[in-house]
């Protein structure tokens, strides 16, 4: 079993509005939807804090790995928040730690990681993380 993640281990938070369609036939948010939440918080940060132009930047981030541990059920109409941190910041990639929290909860209902490799938009060859993005990402590194 995975170790519980708590809110103080995350550096950036984004409110997530659940939708009726997020629930599955079992009455809770479907597992695949959590990956959408992961993608949303990471890209929101890159766009709003790192200046990523998703339509015009010559360098973009592609997801090459993700994993999620589910610890407690969530369901529409729960209000959520997604927590983001940087676990590893490399030259060409970043590994995020992500937690999904029910509003007001300090322990994540789900948590995992998400890896972006930065590539040239045209050639799709890996490339260095642009300096502005690197600076923004470095602010999310968890001091241990």
CB 44 within 8 A of CB 54: no
Q: What is the pLDDT of residues 93-131, one digit of tens each?
A: 999 999 999 999 999 999 999 999 999 999 999 999 999
Alpha carbon distance 85, 103 (integer Å): 18
Mean pLDDT of 60-84: 97
pLDDT band at 3 (very low <50, low <70, confident <90, very high): confident
CATH number of 7-138: 3.10.129.10
pLDDT band at 50 (very low <50, low <70, confident <90, very high): very high
pLDDT of 142 strictly over 80:
no
pLDDT band at 143 (very low <50, low <70, confident <90, very high): low
Q: What is the pLDDT of residues 83-99, one digit of tens each?
A: 999 999 999 999 999 99
pLDDT of 53 strictly over 90:
yes
Alpha carbon distance 85, 52 (integer Å): 17
Instruction: Cis check for the bond before 135: say yes or no (omega within 30 of 0).
Output: no
Indicate the average pLDDT of the chain. 96
Give the position of tokens 């132009």. Answer: 53
- Tokens read off for 131: 């300096």
CB 63 within 8 A of CB 116: yes
pLDDT band at 4 (very low <50, low <70, confident <90, very high): confident
Alpha carbon distance 96, 112 (integer Å): 8
Whether pTM > 0.85 for this model: the answer is yes
SS3 113: strand
């Amino acid at each position: 079993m995975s170790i519980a993640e708590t809110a103080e281990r995350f550096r950036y938070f984004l409110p997530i509005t659940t939708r009726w369609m997020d629930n599955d036939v079992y009455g809770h948010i479907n597992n695949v939807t959590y990956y959408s939440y992961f993608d949303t918080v990471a890209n929101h940060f890159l766009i709003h804090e790192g200046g990523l132009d998703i339509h015009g930047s010559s360098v973009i981030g592609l997801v090459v790995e993700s994993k999620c541990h589910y610890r407690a059920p969530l369901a529409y109409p729960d209000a959520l928040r997604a927590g983001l941190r940087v676990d590893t910041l490399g030259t060409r990639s970043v590994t995020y730690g992500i937690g999904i929290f029910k509003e007001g909860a300090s322990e994540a209902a789900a948590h995992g990681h998400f890896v972006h490799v930065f590539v040239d938009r045209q050639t799709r060859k890996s490339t260095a993380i642009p300096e502005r993005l690197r600076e923004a990402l470095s602010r999310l590194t968890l001091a241990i």
